[in-house]
Each structure stands twice: as C-alpha cells, then as structure tokens.
C-alpha cells in the first residue's frame, strides 16, 4: 500500500507516517518542506503517482475566515482533483468535532474546516472523515489563544480532550482498512469545563496567568461529540479537575 500524507512532516502527520511505516506501508510525506504545495499545485502530480490513499492532515496558521476557508478549500480541491486523475481510491481527512455547530460556527478557522469537509464530500474520491476533539498537548495553546491583556478569558464550554497517540492510531487503522468508512469521531474519556481545564493546566506548569470564567455558567456543548464515537482511554495527565456531564 502506498500512502501520501499531505502534511506528513507536521505534528499529526509525522506520527501517522511513523506508525504506517512500522506496519510496512510505503509513505510519501508531501508538505511544503518536500517542495509540494497544494495551493500552487507544485509537485502534486509527482507525489500522487501510484498512491492508493491520501491522508490529509494539512494545516494553516490563518485563523481568519477568508484565510482559513481559502486554504482548506483550495488544498482539498487540488488533492481530490489530482487524486482522482492519479487513481487514488481513498481520501482520509482529519477534521475537528463540532466544527460548524453552535457557537463554533462563528470561528473563522472552524469555517475553514467546514469548507474542507464540504470539498471532500463534493469530490469524487471515496472518503473517511475522522473528527477529533482537541489534543492533550494543545490545551496550553488554547490558553494562549484565550489570553487578553495577560488574563485567560475562558468560557464554561464543555471540552473532551484526547491523547494524540490515540487519534494517530485511529488514522492509521482507517488508512489500513483501505476503503471509505464515512464519518468517525474520537474524544478522550473525560469531559471538563474549559475554564477548569485551563486553570488546572496553567497551575500545573507554574504559569501565573489568572483564568477568568466568562459567559456566566452556561456550558456550550458544541465541541463534544453527540452521536457514537471512539472513546480514548488515556486520562488527561493533570488530575483533580472537576469532571462535567
Ligand atoms: N490541534 C488540535 O487539537 C486538533 C484537533 C483536531 C484536529 N486537528 C487538525 O489536525 C490537522 C493537523 O494539524 P497539525 O497540528 O499536525 O498541523 P501542523 O503541525 O501545522 O502541520 C501542517 C502540515 O501542513 C503542511 N502544509 C501547510 N501548507 C501547505 C501547502 N500549501 N502545501 C503543502 N503542505 C502544506 C506543512 O508542511 P511543512 O511541514 O513542510 O511546513 C505541515 O506538514 C489540522 O487540519 C487540524 O485542524 C487539530
């Protein structure tokens, strides 16, 4: 089996590449560092030659709606069109639980992910969309994203982080399955309120930032799974955080 990992040297992509290679898969790591650009179309046909499956774990630093939508939509259209020409049989996309739902529907980056999912579904390649919640290692970044004037302004929203290794294992499993599985979600075993999670995470690393709970006591549940989902078994490494719901 030959797999193109679009974004294969990134945080998720490099781990998926390592795991698939350990299972005997021929992996092509197609990202900017490899001279491949899915916006410009550079080397795309070349890296798709003989590929059975595309694992799409691309990412952008653009968080505004225009930037995120044009990146995720543009790269996905390029991959699906060229993938079809090259005879690819399966497109595995990594997305995020809850994008486009509730309050999350107003976040520019998430609108980019919604556009990305739409482009995958509109294309002719058989697909599996794996939606994950936030990775454990991403929680400190989330604190930074919510920091205004030195204080972390955190909503009481529900959040159910997952260990990256468990997501990587699911992406590898779906890829090795060889055929489309539709839409699959994964989340960790515990559900928290975001302000509690950020407060405990900063305290554990000795970060002096104050976490201020905002939006009253309302707990928006847009970012946790609602239907069936794969439940990870790895607990959040910091213990003692009140579990919600
Ligand atoms: N963080 C979370 O908690 C979370 C949760 C659920 C889902 N996700 C999703 O996980 C995915 C992967 O995230 P990540 O953290 O692994 O991202 P990352 O480390 O930033 O990696 C992104 C990859 O995309 C490549 N890339 C960017 N623009 C490109 C272009 N125009 N052409 C070709 N390659 C390009 C980069 O190539 P270079 O390495 O060469 O620069 C890099 O390999 C994202 O789609 C994100 O939405 C994240």
Enumerate the H helices of the chain as residue ranges.
11-22, 44-48, 65-86, 108-122, 139-145, 164-177, 194-204
Give me ligand 1 centre to Cα 55, in Å: 11
Give me ligand 1 centre to Cα 108, in Å: 16
| pLDDT for the residue 102 | 66
Tokens of residue 90, six digits: 């399966």
| pLDDT for the residue 100 | 75
Give the pLDDT confidence of 149-180 residue by residue, as tens digits: 999 999 999 999 999 999 999 999 999 998 99
* Residues with C-beta less than 6 Å from any ligand 1 atom: 7, 9-13, 31-33, 36-39, 57-59, 75, 94, 96, 113, 132, 134-135, 138
Give me ligand 1 centre to Cα 213, in Å: 30
Give me ligand 1 centre to Cα 196, in Å: 28
Give the pLDDT confidence of 35-72 residue by residue, as tens digits: 999 999 999 999 999 999 999 999 999 999 999 999 99
Provide the 10 A C-beta neighbour count for residue 236. Answer: 20
Q: Whose CA is nearest to atom 13 of ligand 1?
A: 59
What whole-number distance in Å separates Cα of residue 181 and Cα of residue 41?
A: 28
Mutate to test the pocket of ligand 1, among 4, 6, 9, 10 (most ligand atoms within 8 A of CB): 10
What average pLDDT is seen over the chain? Answer: 95
Has residue 73 got a pLDDT over 70? yes
Residue 105: pLDDT band (50, 70, 90) is: low
Give the pLDDT confidence of 124-153 residue by residue, as tens digits: 999 999 999 999 999 999 999 999 999 999
Q: What is the pTM of this model?
A: 0.96
Has residue 233 got a pLDDT over 80? yes
DSSP class of 162:
B
């Amino acid at each position: 089996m030959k797999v193109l990992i679009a974004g294969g040297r990134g945080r998720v992509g490099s781990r998926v590449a390592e795991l698939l290679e350990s299972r005997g898969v021929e992996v092509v790591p197609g990202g900017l560092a490899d001279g491949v650009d899915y916006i410009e179309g550079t080397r795309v046909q070349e890296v798709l030659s003989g590929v059975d499956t595309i694992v799409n774990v691309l990412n952008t630093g653009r968080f505004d709606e225009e930037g995120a939508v044009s990146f995720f939509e543009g790269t996905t259209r390029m991959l699906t069109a060229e993938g079809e020409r090259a005879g690819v049989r399966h497109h595995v996309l990594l997305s995020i639980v809850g994008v486009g739902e509730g309050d999350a529907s107003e976040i520019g980056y998430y609108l980019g992910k919604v556009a990305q999912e739409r482009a995958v579904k509109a294309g002719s390649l058989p697909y599996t969309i794996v939606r994950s919640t936030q990775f454990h290692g991403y929680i400190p970044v989330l604190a930074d994203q919510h920091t205004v004037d030195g204080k972390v302004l955190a909503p009481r929203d529900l959040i159910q982080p997952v260990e990256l290794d468990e997501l990587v294992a699911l992406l590898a499993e779906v890829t090795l399955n060889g055929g489309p599985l539709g839409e699959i979600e994964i989340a960790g075993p515990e559900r928290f309120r975001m302000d509690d999670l950020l407060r405990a995470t900063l305290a554990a690393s000795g970060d002096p930032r104050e976490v201020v709970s905002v939006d009253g006591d309302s707990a928006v549940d847009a970012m946790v799974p609602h239907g069936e989902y794969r439940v990870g078994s790895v607990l959040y490494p910091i213990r003692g955080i009140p579990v919600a719901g």
